[in-house]
Chain A
């Protein structure tokens, strides 16, 4: 059941359809690089609030969350460019950003 989907996912980077058109590449760059940064930032903010709540000293939480931010952003970039379907990437980024904001709000000041 899963196989057809993965096969469609694994098509070589297409050269003829809209995915190779310049505006789609630009859109992908903006969504993955820009959107990825915003989503990672939101998650960093959420973690910075949650970690002290889990027992870390405030400053330690901020430093640890920010350091993890680079790893999170790296993973987002790699997966964002690996994914063929841009829409799914965008949805995932919204989920990450939402998670970050939710964590921040739950433990908010």
Chain B
């Protein structure tokens, strides 16, 4: 039985890996970048490179945008105070086309110009869980499927690996490449296993209501009833009569007093301009792992307390703990860097798994005239090197396009996203058309683009690393620049190594032919 179980798990591991690996790499790569999404935001939107002032700014000063939201009949109006990782005030409301985001300088209260980019928190991060495919939530379902496949891969990988503890630290880098690639795959899989399982399972659990709707459908009549019960949020219907809004600062002050001095971080007004409008004041979610912000709700006109959020029950704590663990919005720089490193390790795991599949089959497929290897080779290059190249291209175009530019009806942020996708498609096309040179040339392209992005940032904003390292509020920019430089160096080194090993094998083949012709 054990033998058969291991064999079927081997089959499962191989084919699940080949089929979902490309998707998993995209999800892991975007998730790794999303760990630093707000830092990437600051790199891509130079107008938000602001030093955080000591004191939060008055909520009432933002009344003008509230009046706009009322005029637009927006169902909500939200204010987020500036934080360390997002050092500007954000106001959000809805117009007919969607969410309107506006940013303000927390020191002066001045309006910041439209950033013209979706950058990290609106492009890279949503890509990680939704692939920007919004029709019928199809992106979320694809990611969920890939997540389940990742769990299956983890379990089957452990099963097929007989000597898991013996191979804990083994990497025979000097052996022939197939052995070294398998060792790399095993080591990154074994050492990354706790992180990979925790991050995949918690990622799925964030969306439990999407992936297992049968749970709430069995108990609640509709989604609203479930949300109302789950959120312990206050709600009341619109009165459809005009109403006024009292002092937001007074409500924030009252919340601070009721919380014994904890600073309010966000305000959400429901039904702006309506007589039944209400104001919810939230604490920060950055203080603990459990993702939960205590809140107090006030009547919009009178400022009377309507509701205080309850303490979470144990099961909710477990779910919010896993959500917080995955989304890492809490303040902890050590963990942020650890997540980033282990995310990259996950990318290496997926890539080496692919490479081993290819190495193992290359000779046999060539001999049997099968096209599988060629097809998967293109897929692997495009899915791994290609998405890195597309990301670098995304950052280069961000520094080249002037603010407010439009082309053929597309706005600046859409042009950036188009660039990302076109570079990625080009990477796949290149990998299928020039399979022999695909790795070398794409590594060179990554090195060139990453270096160009770093240099362009210095040229267009003046915040070159020497300057950004000297100012604490520019460290995120310096960090992204250093990461780009490291990426360029790594990609360059990889391209040199690949080119050299290609030359060596070509020389060996030529020598063999020579020997054959003499014989």
Contacts and interface: CB of A to CB of B under 8 A. Distances in A.
Interface residues of B, number: 39
A70 interface: yes
A9 B218 CA distance: 37
Contacts of A63: 208, 215, 230, 315-316, 319
A91 interface: no
Interface string B261-297: 0000000000000000000000000000000000000
B373 interface: no
Interface string A5-18: 01001111100000
A72 to B, nearest CB: 10
A12 B318 contact: no
Interface string A37-63: 000111011111100100011111111
**A contact patch SS:** helix
B148 A62 contact: no
**B contact patch SS:** helix
Interface residues of A, number: 40
Given A49-B218, A78-B152, A58 B229 contact: yes
Contact of A82 (B9, B217, B315): B9
A42 B152 contact: no
Interface in B495-509: none
Interface in B3-40: 3-5, 7-9, 11-12
Contacts of A78: 9, 12, 152, 155-156
B425 interface: no
A78 to B, nearest CB: 6
B316 A73 contact: no
A98 to B, nearest CB: 15
Nearest to B205: A67
The 7 closest A-B pairs by CB, nearest first: A10-B4, A45-B218, A60-B315, A66-B208, A66-B215, A45-B214, A41-B214
Given A56-B315, A84-B4, 6 more contacts: A12-B3, A46-B218, A48-B219, A66-B208, A66-B211, A82-B9
10 contacts: A12-B4, A47-B215, A48-B218, A56-B315, A59-B226, A59-B313, A66-B215, A67-B205, A78-B9, A78-B155
Interface of A: 6, 9-13, 40-42, 44-49, 52, 56-67, 69-70, 73-74, 77-78, 81-84, 104, 109
Interface of B: 1-5, 7-9, 11-12, 148, 151-152, 155-156, 201, 204-205, 208-209, 211-212, 214-220, 226, 229-230, 313-316, 318-319, 322
